[in-house]
A and B are shown apart, each in its own frame.
Chain A
Amino acid sequence: MSELSRREMLQATAAALSLPLVKLPVATGQAPKKFFTPAEFAVVDELSDMIIPTDEKSVGARAAGVAAYIDARLAESFEHEPPEQWRTGLKAVEDLSHELNGKAFMESTPEQRLAVLTRMAAGESDPKTPAEKFFREIKGATVHAYYTSKVGIHDDQGYKGNVYQTGEYAGFDAT
């Protein structure tokens, strides 16, 4: 970056940066659980991490704090339906787990948990059972929370934008 362009950039940001920004509390992986019971939280945490797991490129939903983010949003929900739907959905997961494995979801083995999630996801394009409907709910929330997280944006996606391009813009000319 040349000195000139750096100066231009600083001038450009001056208006935005010199103003006192409103400090807002930020939800993180360490945020206190507010809506889920500890047992529910554990199930959401596990399911989200099974939907977006750690792989060779990046850590998964658990390390991205997905469950805590969902919890915080549900705790402050203005509408009654979303929290109720989650509670009902988590009950459906337990029911399905008892049906398939004869025990609670978190007491099941990894293979047994996978069987539950696989059954939940079977009707993704046209969900009918409560567990199938809940899959869409928790997958949507996980996708949203993960890909808006620091891990999702930077580590997994390797997003290159939201930066000052001080020289040529990236891309191709129209020729």
Chain B
Amino acid sequence: MTLIRFKASQEQDVDLSRTYDAVVVGSGAAGGMAAHVLTSQGMQVLLLEAGKKIPIEQELRSMEWPYDHPRRGEFPPGDHALRYNEYTVRQPPYAKGSAFKHVFSYVGGWGGSDYVKNILVDEKDHPYTGTRYAWVRARLLGGKTNIWGRLALRLSDYDFKGKSHDGYGEDWPISYADIQPYYDKVDTYLGISGHNENLPHLPDSLFQRPNKLTAAEVKLRKSLATMGRVLTPYRAGVTTDGVKNKYRSKCFGRGACGRRPGGCDIHAAFDSPTGLIYPAMDTGNLTLRTNSIAHEVLVDQNTGKARGISFVDAVNHRTYDAKAKVVILAASTLESARLLLLSKSRQYPNGIANSSGHVGHNFCEHVMGPGVTGMVKELVGVAPTLDDGKPGGFYVPRFRNLQDKQPGFIRGYGFEGGSGFSIFPDGAWGTPGFGGQFKKTVREHAGAFISMGGFGEVLARYENYMDLDPEVKDSWGIPVLRFHYQFGDNEKKMCEDMAVAGREMFEQAGIEVIGVDKNILTEGWSIHELGTARMGSDPKTSVLNQFQQSHDVRNLFVVDGSSHVSASCQNPTWTIMALAWRSCEHLADEFKRGSL
């Protein structure tokens, strides 16, 4: 890696001669949860993370003012974040031939990019090929949970039983009743903030105290209620009342996580290291090895079972084997699929766990882009209030295709939004002119804006898939993913409706619409990739069973988002963790019974 080098940590001195009970690949939401559940059940676990362990508090510096940073929080010279037009005009690999020293995904282009330059991967080291895709990756201990968006939502039987509802795709092999106890466990162990709404399609969590709303949001909430719709305070995977965890503080409404690409240096927002991994290490049952890039699931020639993981050390480029009785992949939807496909052997010529041919297929995610911006006239000229001291703004849950049936599309979308005063007056960019009048206009309108953007379900389709590029390799010589994926007609129709519905809701509330965005952002933009190794009861059409266990290899589990059967329109992190908890409990039971 060409980024700042930190001293190799003592975790590198791990014992690779022994056979661990389980090896977990990936330390994000899924891998962290696997480590937590299995170590608490007494299993000896080796956790492999491809990235490094960095002093994250120093990196995030959540409260640093823009003017205390030499570039007001922006990248140093030579670092570049991909822009929307680069993703649309060009084809991957996007960093190929770039004159910049380092190239990062678009997330690095948000305010505060300098705080994520050691978190996001350098696209130069991590190419991919094929169709356009904005792939956001974070290789470090904790993965993307270090900077995730924090919106923590449950799925419902409208999602798990989507096929039963509208006939499309496949039902999940579980129902809400199966996962509900595990959502409860995740809520309690990690903390979640929100307001009960009693919606059948967006079940409530066991909430700690909610975030507050701004005056504009109260106005919209009241109006939406008359339309039978809901605006609820951002359901944040953030502990507002505190949890029993010495590595984490409760949230003090500093708002730092919302002003930047993400991150919380007091760890009130959930991240996998402080929420799951450090407590798991305290059990004495967890061994961590960072800078360990898994590239093959090793197979026992006699039994066909998984026997461990082969990995490359990111720093010294040497290859090592880790031996374990159970192998658990949690490398992220796309990286886990890549790893399965890379694991070709005599027994598994198409990649391990892939007798169905479905690994890499049925990819799904969320489509985004359309949204609306409005101005609340009565808030023009009001004195500044503290509006951004919270982990997020608001959420408008799905309202389409629940009781009704839309003519143009199936499934639904929700809106994420925000409003009010923020550290930078966004209206300044769009206010014309100059001089005293310009300055006054910016000041008076700073707290009057409200905006929201849709997140819609992308239908899982077999023909949307990823495979291995036959030629291109990453900086460690490992074949890269090649994308064969694009939005379909349902997504496009849904996006048209988002723009129309967004405008309607603002107008109904008496909010002046000052902008409607109709453009669809590049595939991948939502960072909610799912479904490349889906669960199911039929081994011919699915990769995993309901416990995220390979149909083909009983001691191989894939506990990340790749197991999801459909994308829903709700953000996936909380479901990833609830499912992983459920599966790993099952795994530990089976392990103790000796049936793996």
Give residues in A with beta carbon < 8 Å to B.
Answer: 8-9, 11-13, 15-16, 19-22, 24-27, 50-53, 55, 57, 60, 69, 72-73, 76-78, 117, 121, 124-125, 139-140, 143-145, 147-150, 153, 156-166, 169-174
Provided the pairs A148-B67, A172-B212 are in contact, do residues A165 and B386 lie with their beta carbons within 8 angstroms?
Answer: yes
Please state if A172 and B77 are interface contacts (CB–CB under 8 Å). Answer: no
Query: 15 additional contacts, CB 8 Å, given A148-B67, A162-B255?
Result: A12-B249, A12-B268, A16-B266, A124-B433, A143-B428, A150-B65, A158-B383, A160-B384, A163-B386, A171-B214, A172-B215, A174-B210, A174-B213, A174-B218, A174-B221
Contact across chains for A21 and B433 when beta carbons are under 8 A apart: no
Interface positions of B from 62 to 88, Cβ below 8 Å from A:
62-63, 65-73, 77-78
B-chain residues with CB within 8 Å of residue A163 when the two chains form the complex: 254, 386, 389
With A12-B250, A124-B433 as known contacts, state yes or no: A171 contacts B256, CB within 8 Å: no
Report the Cα distance A133→B101, complex, angstroms: 29
A27 to B22, CA, bound (A): 51
A26 to B68, CA, bound (A): 6
- Can you list 16 pairs linking A and B with CB atoms under 8 Å apart? A8-B249, A16-B266, A19-B55, A19-B57, A21-B58, A121-B433, A124-B433, A156-B439, A159-B423, A160-B421, A162-B255, A165-B254, A171-B211, A171-B214, A171-B385, A171-B387
Q: Does B432 contact A (CB under 8 A)?
A: yes
Assess whether B49 is interfacial by the CB under 8 Å rule.
no
Given the known interface contacts A24-B70, A55-B440, A158-B384, the answer about A78 and B101 at a Cβ–Cβ threshold of 8 Å is: yes
| Assembled-state Cα–Cα distance A36/B385 (Å) | 39
Residue B334 at the chain A interface, CB threshold 8 Å:
no
Show the binding face of B for A, using Cβ within 8 Å.
Answer: 55, 57-58, 61-63, 65-73, 77-78, 100-101, 195, 209-215, 217-218, 221, 231-233, 249-250, 252-256, 259, 265-268, 383-390, 421-425, 428-429, 432-436, 438-440, 442-443, 446
B500 to chain A, nearest CB (A): 26
B254 touches A73 (CB 8 A): no
Q: Tell me the complex Cα distance, A153–B232, Å.
A: 29
Main secondary structure of the interface of B (DSSP, over half): loop
Contact A21 B254 (CB under 8 A): no
CB-CB < 8 A to A24: which residues of B?
69-70
Instruction: Determine which residue in B215, B386, B440 has the highest number of CB atoms from chain A within 10 A of its CB, and name it.
Output: B386
Out of B214, B253, B443, name the residue touching A156 (CB < 8 Å): B443
Residues on B with C-beta less than 8 A from A166 are 252
- Which chain B residues border A9 with CB–CB below 8 Å? 252
For B232, give the chain A residue with the smallest CB separation: A174
Residue with the highest number of chain B CB atoms closer than 10 Å, among A20, A52, A125, A161: A161
Cβ-defined contact, B436 with A161, below 8 A = no
What's the minimum C-beta distance from A123 to chain B, rounded to whole angstroms?
Answer: 11
The chain A residue with its CB closest to the CB of B222 is A175
Complex interface: chain A residues within 8 A of B384 (CB): 157-160
Contact residues of A: prevailing secondary structure: loop
Query: Chain A contacts of B265 at CB under 8 A?
Result: 15-16
Known: A27-B70, A170-B389, A174-B213. A157 touches B446 (CB 8 A): yes
Chain B neighbourhood of A53, CB < 8 A: 435-436, 439
Closest to B268 in A: A12
What's the nearest-Cβ distance from chain A to residue B408, in Å?
32
B384 to chain A, nearest CB (A): 4
A76: shortest Cβ distance to chain B, in Å?
A: 5
Q: How far is the CA of A161 from the CA of B259 in the complex (A)?
A: 10
CB atoms of A171 and B433 under 8 A apart = no
In the assembled complex, the Cα of A9 lies from the Cα of B254 at a distance in Å of: 11
On chain A, the residues within 8 Å of B383 by CB distance are 158
Residues on B with C-beta less than 8 A from A117 are: 434
> Which of these, B61, B65, B77, contacts A76 with CB under 8 Å?
B77
Q: Which residue of B lies closest to A15 (CB)?
A: B57
| A25:B423 contact, CB within 8 angstroms | no
Answer whether A78 and B78 are a contact pair too, CB < 8 Å, given A12-B252, A21-B61, A147-B425: yes
Residue of B nearest to A26 (CB): B70
Nearest 7 A/B pairs, CB to CB = A171-B212, A12-B249, A165-B253, A78-B77, A148-B66, A170-B386, A160-B386
Interface centre among B66, B78, B221, B422 (most CB of A within 10 A): B66
Which chain B residues border A173 with CB–CB below 8 Å? 210, 212-213
Pick from B63, B429, B443: contact of A143, CB below 8 A.
B429
Assembled-state Cα–Cα distance A72/B390 (Å):
33
B10: min CB distance to chain A, Å? 18
Contact (Cβ within 8 A) A161 B424: no
Residues of chain A contacted by B215 (CB below 8 angstroms): 172
Find out whether the CB atom of B438 lies under 8 angstroms from the CB atom of A169: no
Task: Verify A13–B428 contact, CB threshold 8 A.
Answer: no
Q: Please state if B213 and A171 are interface contacts (CB–CB under 8 Å).
A: yes
Q: Quick check: A11 and B249 within 8 Å, CB to CB?
A: yes
Q: Is the CB of B436 within 8 A of A55?
A: yes
Distance, CA A13 to CA B63, complexed state (A)? 10
Return chain B residues, CB-CB under 8 Å to A159: 384, 421, 423
In-complex Cβ contact of B195 among A149, A165, A174 (8 A): A174
